[in-house]
């Protein structure tokens, strides 16, 4: 295998493979004079409603008769599966990333969040199927840009992984990327970088540090609240004298920069993670509904339950503030049941008491996240700012609780950077452009499920 040279890879692609949603962005490595290249987000996804810049991490497989490859992916797969005739002979698979969380996969008492994989498929197979679909779409999008002037084998990739993943899980992710055709098994190891999700978010926030008065010497925490996991690390912003990219630098050509001071990130705490992401809020809501309906001897169909949970995820969860009563539209029940006073259904609408939602659904997860933050603060001793990122990190209810608990009590500010849901994938591209941006890491046990970094 030949030595690695960044000059051979003029395009860097970042992929945030998420439990519930995935995103991507890319950049060209042609900037001169130290100027940071512009990062181009993939904002348009097939069949995606609204302006959310990510797409669903779902696949649709035909099971009768069985077809090995998925017949559709992302939002289009979700739409097709809503058709009862298709649902009878197909399997919709989501949340499969959770199989690489060993604490969940090996625990029989885990919540009902692990999916059933298609017959004959391993988790690596399913992840590879999804990455293959996503990558094919990315190539179509890049083909409409200047990237069409470069061969696909000149693209470099950076994939994000949870802080809590083991080395075995990261190896499985790399295998899936090879199987999906992102890279070849014979390619140089550094053509595909893996970076922990909070590290990627930290790199993005470092680029916005001036907006929050974070200066060299200050420490800040990344609290990355995704769909499946919540990951945290504290970093210190440092300034080092940069000698400039030389011809002998293995990363020369990624971004040719003149000598001078450069900002870098030094890891202060060992990253922590826990499976308490937004998906677990959704699961608690599903179980909450099941208990309410069971109390009046009603058993909604799976499609009806899925519809109600989807409405909660899209409409109620993002804006929940813990004060206002919520209203859940139940078109499947309108007319059929009319008014069911015992569980607050009237004219096809279920009235949801804010206090019930707090106590039974949100607060157990929010409290777990606050305890994770507290543990990181104890390790760090000093922390200037807490940055909330990730899909669930944009929750108003979670944000206000974290701010109330910590802001002004040793932490100067709790902040949500612009486009917080894209912080990780943007940071992945920045890392692909400059893998030296993180200068020091806390030593980890290589067999621990908290090992987070691979390069």
Could you identify the residue written with the tokens 């899209």?
Answer: 314
Residue 446 falls inside a structural domain: no
Maximum distance among all Cα pairs of the chain, rounded to whole angstroms: 75
Q: What pLDDT score was predicted for residue 52?
A: 82
pLDDT, tens digit, for every residue of 44-53?
Answer: 999 887 678 9
Q: What pLDDT score was predicted for residue 451?
A: 27
Count of residues in the chain: 455
Residue 141 falls inside a structural domain: yes
Mean pLDDT of the chain: 87
Mean pLDDT across the stretch 223-248? 82
Domain count, the chain: 1
Helices (H), ranges, 146-272: 167-180, 197-207
| Integer CA distances (angstroms), 216 to 235, 236, 239, in order | 11, 8, 6
pTM score of the predicted model:
0.89
CA dihedral 404→405→411→417, nearest 10 degrees, is: -60
pLDDT, tens digit, for every residue of 401-410?
Answer: 999 999 999 9
For residue 31, with 0-12 CB atoms within 10 Å meaning exposed, 13-18 middle and 19 or more buried, which class applies? Answer: middle
CA dihedral 167→173→176→178, nearest 10 degrees, is: -80
Q: Which of 276, 269, 271 is nearest to 166 (CA)?
A: 271
Residue 283 falls inside a structural domain: no
Contact assessment for residue 409 and residue 438, using Cβ atoms and an 8 Å cutoff = no
Could you identify the residue written with the tokens 């860097």?
Answer: 12
pLDDT(446) > 60: no
Query: By mean pLDDT, which of 110-114, 186-190, 388-392, 409-413 is the weakest?
Result: 110-114
Question: Both tokens of residue 315?
Answer: 């409409």
Highest mean pLDDT: which of 21-25, 339-343, 417-421? 21-25
Mean pLDDT across the stretch 44-70? 90
Residue 78 falls inside a structural domain: yes
Contact assessment for residue 234 and residue 270, using Cβ atoms and an 8 Å cutoff = no
Residue 89 falls inside a structural domain: yes
> Is the model more confident about 442 or about 119?
119
Residue 1 falls inside a structural domain: no
Residue 20 falls inside a structural domain: yes
Q: What pLDDT score was predicted for residue 252?
A: 42
| Rounded distance between C-alpha atoms, residue 433 and residue 204, angstroms | 12
Reported confidence tier of residue 123, pLDDT bands at 50, 70, 90: very high
Q: What pLDDT score was predicted for residue 334?
A: 46
Reported confidence tier of residue 330, pLDDT bands at 50, 70, 90: confident
pLDDT, tens digit, for every residue of 253-310?
Answer: 444 455 667 788 999 998 888 889 999 999 999 999 999 999 999 888 888 898 899 8
User: 21 Cβ partners below 8 Å, 6+ apart?
Assistant: 52, 54, 55, 56, 57, 227, 391
Residue 165 falls inside a structural domain: yes
**CATH code assigned at 184:** 3.30.420.40
List the domain range (segments joined by +) for residue 25: 6-195
């Amino acid at each position: 295998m030949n030595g690695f040279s960044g000059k051979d890879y003029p395009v860097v692609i970042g992929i945030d493979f998420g439990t519930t949603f995935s995103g991507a962005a890319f950049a060209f490595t042609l900037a001169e004079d130290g100027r940071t290249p512009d990062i181009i987000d993939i904002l348009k996804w097939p069949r995606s409603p609204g302006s959310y810049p990510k797409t669903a991490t779902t696949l649709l497989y035909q099971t009768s008769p069985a077809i090995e490859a998925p017949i559709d992916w992302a939002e289009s797969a979700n739409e097709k599966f809503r058709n009862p005739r298709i649902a009878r002979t197909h399997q919709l698979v989501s949340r499969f990333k959770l199989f690489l969380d060993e604490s969940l996969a090996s625990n029989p008492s885990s919540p009902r969040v692990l999916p059933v994989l298609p017959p004959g498929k391993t988790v690596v197979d399913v992840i590879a199927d999804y990455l293959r679909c996503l990558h094919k779409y990315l190539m179509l999008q890049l083909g409409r840009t200047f990237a069409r002037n470069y061969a696909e084998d000149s693209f470099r990739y950076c994939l994000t992984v949870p802080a809590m993943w083991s080395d075995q899980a990261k190896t499985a992710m790399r295998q899936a990327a090879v199987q999906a055709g992102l890279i070849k098994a014979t390619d140089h190891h550094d053509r595909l970088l893996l970076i922990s999700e909070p590290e990627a978010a930290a790199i993005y926030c470092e680029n916005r540090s001036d907006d929050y008065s974070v200066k060299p010497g200050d420490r800040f925490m990344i609290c990355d609240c995704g769909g499946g996991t919540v990951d945290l690390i504290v970093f210190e912003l440092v300034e080092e004298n940069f000698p400039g990219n030389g011809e002998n630098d293995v990363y020369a050509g990624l971004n040719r920069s003149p000598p001078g001071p450069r900002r870098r990130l030094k890891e202060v705490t060992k990253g922590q993670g826990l499976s308490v992401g937004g998906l677990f809020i959704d699961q608690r809501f599903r179980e909450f509904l099941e208990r309410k309906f069971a109390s009046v001897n009603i058993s909604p169909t799976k499609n009806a339950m899925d519809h109600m949970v989807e409405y909660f995820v899209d409409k109620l969860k993002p804006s929940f503030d813990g004060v206002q009563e919520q209203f859940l539209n139940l078109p499947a029940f309108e007319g059929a049941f009319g008014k069911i006073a015992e569980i607050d259904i009237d004219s096809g609408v279920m009235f949801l008491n804010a206090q019930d939602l707090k106590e039974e659904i949100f607060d157990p997860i929010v409290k777990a996240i606050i305890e994770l933050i507290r543990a990181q603060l104890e390790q760090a001793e000093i922390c200037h700012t807490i940055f909330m990122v990730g899909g669930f990190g944009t929750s108003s209810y979670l944000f206000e609780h974290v701010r109330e608990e910590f802001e002004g009590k040793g932490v100067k500010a709790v902040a949500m950077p612009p486009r917080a849901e894209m912080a990780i994938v943007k940071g992945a591209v920045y890392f692909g452009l400059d893998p030296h941006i993180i200068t020091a890491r806390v030593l980890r046990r290589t067999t621990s499920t908290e090992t987070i970094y691979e390069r």
